[in-house]
Amino acid sequence: MSCIVYPYTNAAAFVPRDYLWMYPAALLSVTFVVLVTCVHRHARDDLKSCSLVAMCLASLGAALILADYLIQIAVVQPSLLDGQVSGLSLFSQYNPHGIFIALEDGGYSLMGLAFLFSGLSLGRLTRLERVVRRLLVISGIAVIGVLVSFALIFGKDLEYRFEVIALSIDWIVLVVAGVLLGVLFKRLMRAPRPAPHVAATGNGSLDSG
């Protein structure tokens, strides 16, 4: 097995194989923002402050992740193939102390916080809502907990450790919660809407004025 070591210029042999996963990952980050927006629309009025915070965090996280993957796809890949490798090691996904890992750490941390506030914005009216709420809140706390713990334990040697765990938690929860929220929103759409309010006069006749 080939080994990619600093300055990571021999990574051209792994283009595009090692970059293919970034295309669906970039698309998923966009759908994540859409999902959190739907949660905001569903949230009760007294909890919309939490869902609005979740939308802001989701947008920031998705922007970091998208920028990160676009740099790899549109900058790093063609530069490797054309032999333009001067200064490229800092941007390489194989660099454990590089920009790629830093942006992923930031993006997936914000995604975890967005899960937390999205969960807090959900009510407890139905069993399904309670399940989704717990899933989102617990996953958000888990991501931030892992970040703080690993930062204290490993310090400058954090490298890929947090990124791998945060990415795994976020994408698994995104898929599971996305399916559950889809079911929840579908049920809400089918639920009967309350009848329009009709003002009545004191003698019980409709008030036409």
Asked if residue 1 has pLDDT above 80, the reply is no
**Structural domain includes residue 30:** yes
How far is the C-alpha of 207 from the C-alpha of 81, rounded, in Å? Answer: 76
Rounded to whole angstroms, how far apart are CA atoms 184 and 46? 20
Q: How far apart are CA 28 and CA 38, in angstroms?
A: 15
Q: List all residues 6 or more positions away from 196 whose beta carbon is below 8 Å from its beta carbon.
A: none
Tokens of 10: 């021999």
Domain presence at residue 208 = no
Asked whether residue 196 is assigned to any structural domain, the reply reads no
pLDDT score for 191: 62
Query: Using one digit for the tens of pLDDT, what is the confidence trace for 153-189?
Result: 999 899 999 999 999 999 999 999 999 998 988 887 7
Q: Of 188 and 71, which is predicted with more confidence?
A: 71
Is 171 inside any structural domain?
Answer: yes
- 3-50: per-residue pLDDT in tens? 788 888 888 888 999 999 999 999 989 999 999 999 998 888 899 999
12 in any annotated domain: no
Report whether pLDDT(105) > 70: yes
Predicted local distance difference test score (pLDDT) of residue 80:
92
In a domain, 145, yes or no: yes
Show the domain range for 132.
17-189
The answer to whether residue 206 sits within a structural domain is: no
The verdict on residue 1 lying in a domain is no
Residue that has been written with the tokens 């549109």 in this structure: 74
* Whole-number pLDDT of residue 199: 43
User: How many domains is the chain built from?
Assistant: 1
Whole-number average pLDDT of the chain: 88
Kindly tell me if the per-residue pLDDT of 208 is higher than 70.
no
For residue 146 the two structure tokens come to 């892992």
The reported pLDDT for the residue numbered 58 is 97
**What does the pLDDT read at residue 206?**
44
